[in-house]
Amino acid sequence: MEDDKVLAGMIHDYPDALSDRKRLQALLLDFFPQDRRKRNLLMIVYDDGIVAEMRGIGQIDKITLHRFVRSIEMGYDIRTKSAEAAVTTWVKAMGLAMDDRDDKTSTAVRDREASPSAEREWLPSESDSLYEYEETPRGLRILKFIDFDEPVVVIPNIIEGKKVIAVGNYAFKGCVGIEKIIVSDGIEILGNGVFLNCRELKKVELPESLRRIGTTDETGCPKILGSQTKYEGAFEYSGLEEVTIPNSVKYIGENSFASCGQLRRVVLPDKMKEIRENTFRWCKNLREVILPQELDVIRISAFEGCDDLQTVDLPEGVISIEEGAFAGCKSLESIYIPDSVIEIGGGKGTGFLKTFGEPKERHDGFTIRCNAGSYAMQYARAQQIRCARA
């Protein structure tokens, strides 16, 4: 049976799944058990808000379809054919009629609607610094910075008259003399380990055009250690002191800020759905985190070892806090857990890490703030953690 018909049948039988991310994820695993890539693509369309937008319309025109595909393609660094296939599967499964009327809209307007980054003008920024780079169908990808370190480096959005779309994996790895990085507007992707071990890198300015930090593309990214694949974080082991991630960013890869020992304050984008594995692990000086308002999941060991973190208020809508998410947070005095949380301690971990660490690792007065009768209250009682009224 065709994918869209399978998906349509699932929606018909379980209409509530479109309002419950975790349930949708479980159902896709049941209906497409052998095709992880297909499940991931369908979930990306859902997480991007496209499915919610589809539910409010009866038909779809070519401009809107193009906008959806471009959002997936550019926001998640997915090939056009794969993005088209995933979006089209949802369109057919939702029973949307195609509006084939002639389009009088100009190309410029079409491009603005298709790509949020094109809604604003960005100023060309060229650089005298030296880079190795390669061409891709969408623009240049910087492969390596081969100039001498300067205290301030501006990563250009134009090289030899061609647009830069991405800064590739490990491009600035080990550049210990750089203290500040300015990523020029127009750049959309920062690869894995791009600023790995930049120990003196204290400040970074990220543009509103940015869509991804880190990537799931395995080509040249991971290091294989035995049977495990390790993705090194974009800013791992850097000297960052604070960072504000623009709201345009939809994906932040695992380990992205791990072991940033000087990092004190982080502002995350409002629409980000999950904080991935080890994102802020061992950020010992981290004291303040502004969490996304649309956050669903905090993954394994996301904040493990953040010694200075004192209070955390999870936004309404969070569903799951996975194993070891706040283990080793010795100064954590309290955390607010909303009623939406239905799982604490899950995820595909080893089973050895408690979500908030062992009792001897916790602050003496550690308290879970929650509402009476909530899952969080039941968890606190089972784990013998003090709980208080939210």
What pLDDT, on a 0 to 100 scale, did the predictor assign at position 166? 93
8 Å CB contact between 356 and 385: yes
- DSSP single-letter state for residue 374: S
Q: At what angle do helices 62-75 and 107-114 cross, to 10 degrees?
A: 50
- Rounded CA-CA distance 8/6 in Å is 5
The torsion angles phi and psi of 203, rounded to 5 degrees, stand at: -130, 145
Which residues 6+ apart lie within 8 Å of 48 measured at CB? 71, 72, 75, 76, 250
The torsion angles phi and psi of 22, rounded to 5 degrees, stand at: -65, -40
- Rounded CA-CA distance 239/197 in Å is 8
What does the angle CA 257 – CA 131 – CA 164 come to, to the nearest 5 degrees? 75
- DSSP single-letter state for residue 19: G
* Residue 281 half-sphere exposure toward CB, CA atoms < 13 A: 21
What pLDDT, on a 0 to 100 scale, did the predictor assign at position 230? 56
- Rounded CA-CA distance 339/178 in Å is 45
Report the candidate in 362, 358, 357, 75 with the shortest Cα–Cα distance to residue 213.
75
Which runs of E-coded beta strand occur in 48-198?
Answer: 59-61, 97-99, 131-136, 139-145, 152-155, 158-159, 162-167, 180-183, 189-190
Instruction: Provide the Cα torsion 368, 370, 376, 380; round to 10°.
Output: 40
Can you give the pLDDT of all 390 residues of the chain as single tens digits?
799 999 999 999 998 889 888 889 899 999 998 888 899 899 989 988 899 889 888 889 888 898 898 888 777 767 888 889 999 999 999 999 887 654 444 444 444 444 444 445 688 998 878 999 999 888 899 999 999 999 999 999 999 999 999 999 999 999 999 999 999 999 999 999 999 999 999 999 999 999 999 876 444 333 333 334 456 899 999 999 999 999 999 899 999 999 999 999 999 999 899 999 999 999 999 999 999 999 999 999 999 999 999 999 999 999 999 999 999 999 999 999 999 999 999 887 777 789 999 999 899 999 999 999 999 999 999 999 999 999
In the block, tokens 């809604």 appear at 119
8 Å CB contact between 301 and 325: yes
- Rounded CA-CA distance 298/278 in Å is 10
Strands 158-159 and 288-290, how do they pair?
A: unpaired
Measured between alpha carbons, how far apart are the two ends of the chain, in Å?
49
Expressed in percent and rounded to 5, the helix, strand and coil fractions of the chain are 25, 20, 55
8 Å CB contact between 185 and 212: no
Region class of 378: left (phi > 0), else alpha (psi between -120 and 50), else beta: alpha
